[in-house]
Amino acid sequence: MGVVVREKRETLEKEVEAALATRFPDVELVDVEVRGQPVSTLTLFIDREGGVDLDLCAAVSLALEDLRERYALEVSSPGLDRRLRKPRHFAAQIGREVAVRMSEPVEGRRNFRGVLAAADQHSITLTLEDGTSATLPLAGLGKAHVVYNHATDRDGGQRE
């Protein structure tokens, strides 16, 4: 991810988090995604204890009037294959299978998939299918998400 895109994302995150903090203190902004030009679509992925429903998504969308004037705004739950961005997101998913795409290659590759074995403020460690492990810096993270397995994740996925 480019520096300009990362800065724009961080600016949008701060703006949304500040707006949510007063009206929806129990709602967490999990991720933001901007796509499309010339009219950009801004998708906000939100979560809260007990889950997200359509009424909450609509209320959050209505509360973000300034953003609706600048973007085609979408508000969604993180879903079963929830995105992971922040250290606490990874820590809550230890033991689950995750897929990670790095912005720059690590040990000659960008894509990793394995069981999340450890997570701290700076890196994550995956146990890969071949039994080896890979420690990946969070600073170089492109995208990451939980790999939901319908056969084994009968509880609907673990929540933070």
pLDDT band at 160 (very low <50, low <70, confident <90, very high): very low
List the structure tokens of 32.
Answer: 């933001």
pLDDT tens across 53-108, in order? 999 999 999 999 999 999 999 999 988 888 898 999 999 999 999 999 999 999 89
Q: Which of 28, 34, 23 is nearest to 46 (CA)?
A: 28
Report the topology of domain 3-76. GMP Synthetase; Chain A, domain 3 (3.30.300)
Mean local confidence (pLDDT), 137-157: 78
Give residue limits of the domains in the chain: 3-76, 87-146
Q: How far apart are CA 93 and CA 102, in angstroms?
A: 18
Q: Which of 149, 22, 136 is nearest to 90 (CA)?
A: 136
The whole-number pLDDT of residue 5 equals 60
Q: How far apart are CA 143 and CA 132, in angstroms?
A: 21
The whole-number pLDDT of residue 154 equals 54
Report the topology of domain 87-146. SH3 type barrels. (2.30.30)
Residue 2 clears pLDDT 80, i.e. is over it:
no
| pTM (predicted TM-score) | 0.74
pLDDT tens across 4-50, in order? 566 688 889 999 999 999 999 999 999 998 888 777 899 999 999 99
Residue 156 clears pLDDT 70, i.e. is over it:
no
